[in-house]
Amino acid sequence: MNIIVKTVSGRCYCRPDTSWEREDKDLFSPDHVNSFLYSPVLFARICKAGKCVGRKFAGRYYDSVGYGMLLYAGDMFDGSPLSYASSSCLDHTSVLPFPMYNRITLEEKSNAFVLQKDGKEIFSFSDGNTDMIEDAISEATMSVSVRIGDMIAIELAGPALLSCRENPEQGGKNRECKNEIRGSFCGNGLFCFNIIF
């Protein structure tokens, strides 16, 4: 299974399936990672295999949608040519929760995706639509084949700091720093986990 990501800049890359987190497990940061960045995403599950999918047929290639977030190891996200690849390989950093929603939920603009960190809203979005997904499927399949069960994720904002080992809110260096991350859509909880350093 591939997790195909379309970045805010319009480029596509793939994350390994070992990065997929769908069970609300806490994320224990490896010792060499001192911070995490996040990108909120709209994602879809691919239901039909294909390559070079024309835009007018892209709607046939996915069956459900959802919102989630991608985490990046901040220490490796340094702007170098391979920073997206190296910072997105960590296990459990593609938070793409199940169950997913019918695509019709995207039509109702009152259905907002909300991200919270320690109870404070850090991101909200209600403009997701099927065009975003279908454009991404068409663009990504020019380079990458899709298979049943693959996920395609569209970044809604570029990577931003989410959590770090040295937490200024807790007076600087704190080796036991913990942040609770929550996501909801249509008022329903999608995920809730802790990032623990």
With a CB cutoff of 8 Å and minimum separation 6, the contacts of 65 are 42, 43, 44, 45, 100, 101, 102, 103, 105, 106, 128, 133
**Separation of alpha carbons 127 and 3, rounded Å:** 22
Element (H, E) at 27: strand 27-28
Per-residue confidence band for 132, with pLDDT thresholds at 50, 70 and 90: very high
| Residues pairing with 112 in the sheet | none
pLDDT at 175: 53
In the predicted model, what is the mean pLDDT of the chain? 91
pTM over 0.95: no
Confidence grade of residue 169 (pLDDT, cut at 50, 70, 90) = low
Rounded to an integer, the average pLDDT of 109-131 is 94
Question: Which stretch of 125-129, 167-171, 193-197 has the lowest confidence by average pLDDT?
Answer: 167-171
Under the banding of pLDDT at 50, 70 and 90, the label for residue 171 is: low
Would the pLDDT of 186 be above 80? yes
**What are the extents of the domains in the chain?**
3-25+35-109+128-166
Query: H/E element holding 181?
Result: strand 178-185
pLDDT over 70, % of the chain: 95
- 134, 57 in Cβ contact below 8 A? no
pLDDT digits (tens, 9 = 90+) for 74-118: 998 888 888 888 899 899 999 999 989 999 999 888 899 999 999
Q: Which residues are 71's β-sheet partners?
A: 38
Average pLDDT over residues 52-80: 94
Residue 78: the pLDDT is: 85
CATH (one of 1.10.10.10, 3.90.850.10, 3.90.1150.110, 3.40.47.10) for 3-25+35-109+128-166: 3.90.850.10
123 vs 40: CA distance, rounded Å: 8
